Amino acid sequence: MLKDRNNEVIIVLPKEPDQTEKFAAEELVKYLAKISSNKIVVSTQQEARKAIYVGTLPANLDKSLVNEILKELEELGDDGFIIRGIGEMLLILGKTSRATLFGAYHYLQLLGVRWYFPGEENEYVPKREDIVIEGLNVKESPAFVKRGIVIDFDNTALYDWIDFMAKVKLNTLALHIQDTGLLPTRAVNWIKNRHELLNQILALLAKRGLDFNLEIHFFGSKFCTVDQNELEISKKRLKEFLELVPSEINDFFLWPADRPLTHCDCEQDRNLSLSDQVLIFTNRMLQVIREVRPKARLAFIQYFSTWEPPIKVKPLDGIFLEIAPIHQCFSHAICDPACELNKNIVIPQIEEALKIFNPKEAQVLGYWLDSSLFGRERFKDLLGRLPQFGGIMKQELNYYLEKGIRAITTFVVGLDKDYFYTFTSPTVFQYAQLLWNPKADLEPEMIIFCKNFYERSELAQFFELYEQIDPKDFSQSAYAEYISRISNFIELTRRILMETESPVMQTRLKRLLRELYYFRCWLKSLVKR
């Protein structure tokens, strides 16, 4: 530990660091300066004794130890990293530059720093008299290879989300454009008209080593296998789109229209299921893409009209499954046998699809953080508030992991600046926590969150209440119990607010109190129906 306030902390970078390694050093300087009064400097001097080595090893390190560390690093996943104290030196070394950045953020977490939601106002940075250098020995690697979000391009917190993603070790951002199937040229026009914005987004992602995708309802709603005119129109639109898409993109998510699809009943197609017809079309579109991008892959989305798996048609090599269970019951994990809905119309179709598509290439598109979903139809009067259901999310992620799926994303539609001014949703940081380690115990971190965010750890009892509130699974007695418990939380929060002097904490507690009042009203309205 460095306790002398006059001590200088040297951060050592490789002699020719890339932009992500430089950014890792910048972030360490920024946060270590907030944590302590130590002077923080950056150097490429490879023989500093009292230093934090970022993405590089000391030149004077014993060769056998170097080989040992490199061997351990090789055994980790692509985003894996090592944090190791050796004497007065600390090594933060990732398998990639991005992994090194994740390692730097993990080290800051070990010092007590937390990022709970997008936006600097939602981070916690403790004051310390010391910076820990010695005695650390951490080796981390994520359970899921792809850990992402799908966000609307006009989200007011978009830049905050990009910054937040790296801090919590998410690695992929996908931009979502609303149903372009209703307006065939919209996706192309969007990229043409927002070229500068797209470049800004790509630059911010590149700085952090993060990946980029586009996930779009791109095609129409009917897929006749013998309609050559419609096929040629789709090919033309696709080729024009490909000319505008960043060259580093090889995974494509170009979906049918976001409305009920129409089964083609022509003589040639009438015996094909709707999913078969869509898969034939998807196979053809992959061939078009591979004319210019030979390594491309294309998603077949299992969603609404294509929820039943294909029967007669097989996917070409390069077609992968994207599972989007929007119709599930959110009161239970999809794998919970106690839920009749999920047991009968969610799990069987997923497991059948995984027999047709390679699970190792499959991806889940979840709705855990989709405020727009929790603000419409049966959830309309909830105004988009995410349920507190970290435990349910944990069960689902472990189910997907057991099935061999290693790529997880979720919509974050509606989680903008206004949302975080209105609601407090630990589900946001729990999502990232569980993608890194699906076995993580959520309770200790929730207690730390309430202590840091509200200065009162007893509020954790509210956020640990897993809200089984999907109207699809309505239970009069269960809702009555929820209402009673929410009333108790309201009284607890009011008491804490009266005892609190900090203006920041008062603002957060008032926001929580408003949320609790509204949530209780919503629950009461369901009971009255």
Mind listing the pLDDT tens digit for each residue in 496-509? 999 999 999 999 99
CB atoms within 10 A of CB 265: 10
- If you average pLDDT over every residue of the chain, what do you get? 94
What confidence score (pLDDT) does residue 9 get? Answer: 87
What confidence score (pLDDT) does residue 369 get? Answer: 99
Q: Burial of 10 by CB count in 10 Å (0-12 exposed, 13-18 middle, 19+ buried)?
A: middle
CATH class entry, domain 8-140: alpha beta
Q: Determine contact, residues 449/426, Cβ cutoff 8 Å.
A: yes
Q: 């994990």: which residue's tokens?
A: 333
What confidence score (pLDDT) does residue 372 get? Answer: 95
What confidence score (pLDDT) does residue 5 get? Answer: 46
For residue 480, pLDDT over 90 is answered with no
pLDDT interval class at 48 (50, 70, 90): confident
Q: What is the pTM of this model?
A: 0.96
Architecture of domain 146-440: Alpha-Beta Barrel (3.20)
Gap between the Cα atoms of 524 and 118, Å rounded: 31
What confidence score (pLDDT) does residue 3 get? Answer: 44
- With CA atoms as reference, report the closest residue to 288 among 234, 212, 245: 234
Beta-strand relationship, 137-140 and 81-86: antiparallel
**DSSP letter, residue 2:** B
Q: Determine contact, residues 424/515, Cβ cutoff 8 Å.
A: yes
- Please report, rounded to a whole number, the percentage of residues in the chain having pLDDT higher than 90: 85
**8 three-class SS:** strand
pLDDT interval class at 44 (50, 70, 90): confident
Could you read off the pLDDT of 9-35 as tens digits, one per residue?
899 999 999 999 999 999 999 999 999
**DSSP letter, residue 469:** -
Gap between the Cα atoms of 285 and 194, Å rounded: 25
Strand order in the sheet with 137-140: 39-43, 8-12, 51-54, 89-94, 81-86, 137-140
